[in-house]
A and B are shown apart, each in its own frame.
Chain A
Amino acid sequence: MTRLADRVQVRLHMNQIVARKIRRTALAAAGALCVALTAGAAEGNERPLVGTPQPVKDLHWGEVLFYFYQDDFLQALTRLGAAQDFNRLTHHTVEAELLKGGLYLSLGQHEEAGRIFRTLLNDNVPLDVRNRAWFYLAKVWYQRNYLQQAADALSSIRGALPGSLEPERHLLEAQVLMYLGRYDDAVRALERWQPTGDGSDAWSAYARFNIGVALVRTGRIDQAAQLLDAVGRIAAPTEELAALRDKANLALGYAWLKEGKPNEAKAVLQRVRLEGPQSNKALLGVGWADAAERRFTKALVPWLELRDRNLLDAAVQEAHLAIPYAYAQLDATRQAVEQYTLAVAAFEQESKRIDQSIAAIREGRLLDAIIENDPADKVGWYWQLQNLPDAPETRYLYHLLASHEFQEGLKNYRDLKLMQRNLASWELSLSAFEDMVDTRRKAFELRTPLLQQVLDRVDLDGLEARQRDLELRIGEIERENDVAALATAREREQWEKVLRIEQVLQRSDPGDPLVEEMREKARLIKGRLLWDFNSSYKARLWKVRKELRELNLAATEVRRRWVLVERAREEFPARTEGFARRVAGLKPRIADLNNRLASAAEAQNRYLAHIAIRELESQKQRLAEYSLQARFALASIYDRASSAAQPASGGAE
């Protein structure tokens, strides 16, 4: 009994730790990885996986972080993958992979995250980063019930984790070992780690509680008692510690009851607060401790207090049986009969309500009631349902809230629904993609003739031939030192005029003094022009060479562009058809995925309904057994009354 009771306790308190920590660790885990820097600082001691802030060197990396910092992990992962596809994260290769692993983790993709981490977590990654990655991975695996993987991941951690992660790691390790049935290993793991201080801190209290529970499970009650008793007496300034103290007292109380030490049990159970999650079980236990010592009047005090509490609680149900039992022990037969009868009626009524709940769940109303109550729209492994809506199909399922199996299943169902919505929005985009492909086709058909006209007008080969001629001509001028060939248009005109004048003068009378004078003038002008040509020849030749080089470059660029245009003209239709094929291929894929998401959600729904019904059936079974015991007790009382009456009446006869 104690083992099972303790198991409940330890699970509940671990869930609380997980719930408390999970929001913070999700940030750090996911991001692990990240780079990220300041997110951790904002959360106190929590550190991101990669502790050193690094400047953003690729804009698209910053874009991924923009969504990551808003906890929009789906967007962050999508953009991260796309940026990697486009090769845009060249300065953040390792961080990008780490973040990707963390994002997969945050989206519940522990297998993919594990694969990435295993590939990445080698000696090139700082030990600190590796350790934290293994820790977060272990945590998710534990939650998902992959216990051996969780144990392996925890054993991969070398040295100590920073801050509060270290105690959490030891508690997690002990927890995993306990669920693997390795109680001695769990005790040893916790004993190896002794939190420092006077033992009044929360981590120390949790550790001693867990060691105590593990010792109880190995039958070492006396050793366990010392630890649980100490935790049961701690000062509890916070609700969390008060709850832990109650759990320790309850666990020890029931351990003592099982050991046949009711007085010790009572002393411990009376430490549990009157109002709190453990109070019903404690009140029941105190009653049983008195009953074991045959102090039935005293036993009735806590049990009568319990009777007026919520009948959904198993301890309250049992109190309904214990009260008439105590009256019977006190020979108050009338009250015993009355209370047994009331108990049978209450159990039957409760059983009928459970039937209604089972029927509602079978009609598929369970998850709809839960999901409708959930306003969030983001996927994430840190998400946990805190409260069940008050509906017939959910009223009896509070036990399930504490179970990973149910929470994880619910998370899966919720993620599947969110992904269906995500695909639905892409489906709308697909028609826009199809329109875009059509537009590309039409634009190409429209522009091709115009493009062709432009291309037809340009005689690129002719231009290149003229360029070659020009080069030859310049070479010739240089070889022949033809200084006049580089004259300006005006000089050229003057030069030709002088040459024409010379020809005319040659044909004129050489004896004419006027002709002689004209010849002299022409010679002077020619000489002056030649002087100018010669003096500017080198500069002009350099300039012409320079222009020729520029022309060559321009011609090469024209040729390159020509080739690009030609290639684009040839490739554009194929590229457009490539897009068309991709778009067309996506449609059936989305439809197929949608169907599979729907059937997986349905399977998840069935599975969760199955768990819920199993829980309800067990509650019903328990009520039936209690009811049977009550009827049997009633029958016994009537039998005894009847037997007692018969001899008397026989005597009268």
Chain B
Amino acid sequence: MCRRFLIAVLGIAFACGSAAAQEAPASAAAVPAEDFKSLDQEVQALKKEVLDLNRELFVLEEELLFPANTQVAIFVSMDVGEFFALDSVTIRLDNKEVANYLYTPREAEALLKGGVHRVYIGNLRAGEHELIAIFTGQGPNARDYRRGATVKLEKGVGAKYVELKISDRASRAQPEFVVKQWE
């Protein structure tokens, strides 16, 4: 009977042991850890290739569709955002609507953390153009808020970047919409 007791207790040990064998990285199990490593390394290399290819495709897309000499990109950024909760942005270029973007709460949160969203990328001829940006959202006291900003753009030979910056004007407890041109 004592022998049987031992067999039974060892049974538990076996049970635990079999589980541990799979969990312990260094254990000598039927499938050696090296198998996982070689497969893992292969997957790593493959993923790296896909990531590199992604970057190449992204670069090609921009070079092909939006060459630097005609490229114009419009970005949206937020600073603080106490007096304005952004819902959407509409962009008109030379009186033609080119973008209308509705922000998800997650995207708005990313903007508040310091992210900058490229809301539009397109092509423009060199010369003067008019940009109108319309922001909608909730202003002070949770009221619906809609504000527009107009700016004349001088498009030169290089790419043109425009930042639509929403910030708080604390002195007036109002949001402020600033258009900044980057070369």
Taking Cβ atoms with an 8 Å cutoff, the residues of A that contact B are 1, 4-5, 7-8, 11, 35-39, 53, 56, 59, 61-63, 65-70, 74, 77-79, 81-82, 85-86, 107-112, 144-147, 179-181, 254, 257, 281, 284-285, 288, 291-292, 314-315, 317-318, 321-322, 325, 328-329, 399-400, 402-406, 408-409, 412, 415-416, 419, 422-423, 426, 429, 433, 436-437, 579, 582-583, 586, 589-590, 593, 596-597, 600, 603-604, 607, 610-611, 614-615, 618-619, 622, 625-626, 629, 633
Interface of B (DSSP majority class): helix
A63 and B44 contact, Cβ closer than 8 Å, known pairs A147-B25, A405-B33: no
Asked if A409 and B26 sit within 8 Å, CB to CB, the answer is no
Asked if A59 and B58 sit within 8 Å, CB to CB, the answer is no
What chain B residues lie within 8 Å of A604 (beta carbons)? 39, 43
Asked if A436 and B42 sit within 8 Å, CB to CB, the answer is no
Asked if A4 and B47 sit within 8 Å, CB to CB, the answer is no
Interface of A (DSSP majority class): helix
Asked if B182 and A593 sit within 8 Å, CB to CB, the answer is no
Q: A59-B182, A147-B26, A433-B64 are in contact. List 9 more A-B contacts (CB 8 A).
A: A1-B16, A82-B59, A108-B44, A292-B5, A416-B43, A422-B54, A582-B60, A590-B53, A626-B11
What chain B residues lie within 8 Å of A292 (beta carbons)? 5
A399 and B19 contact, Cβ closer than 8 Å, known pairs A65-B116, A321-B8: yes
Interchain CB contact (< 8 A) of A82 among B1, B53, B58: B58
State in angstroms the CA–CA spacing of A257 and B10 once bound together: 11
Asked if A107 and B51 sit within 8 Å, CB to CB, the answer is yes
Closest to B21 in A: A618
A412 and B43 contact, Cβ closer than 8 Å, known pairs A65-B110, A78-B51, A586-B56: yes
In the assembled complex, the CB of B63 is this many whole angstroms from the nearest CB of chain A, namely 7
What chain A residues lie within 8 Å of B48 (beta carbons)? 109, 112
A318 and B15 contact, Cβ closer than 8 Å, known pairs A66-B111, A400-B22, A607-B39: yes
**Contact-residue bracket for chain B:** 35 or more
Closest to A636 in B: B4
7 pairs of A and B residues whose beta carbons are closest in the complex: A62-B116, A66-B115, A314-B15, A1-B13, A81-B55, A69-B110, A145-B25
- Is B130 an interface residue when CB atoms closer than 8 A count as contact? no
What chain A residues lie within 8 Å of B22 (beta carbons)? 399-400, 403, 405-406, 611, 614-615
In the assembled complex, the CB of B5 is this many whole angstroms from the nearest CB of chain A, namely 6
What chain A residues lie within 8 Å of B118 (beta carbons)? 59, 63
What chain B residues lie within 8 Å of A405 (beta carbons)? 22-23, 25, 33, 36
Please list 26 pairs of residues, one from A and one from B, whose beta carbons are closer than 8 Å in the complex, sorted by A's number: A7-B16, A36-B113, A65-B113, A77-B55, A109-B48, A145-B25, A179-B24, A285-B12, A288-B5, A399-B23, A402-B19, A403-B22, A419-B50, A423-B50, A433-B64, A579-B63, A586-B53, A586-B57, A593-B53, A603-B42, A614-B29, A614-B30, A615-B18, A619-B18, A622-B11, A625-B11
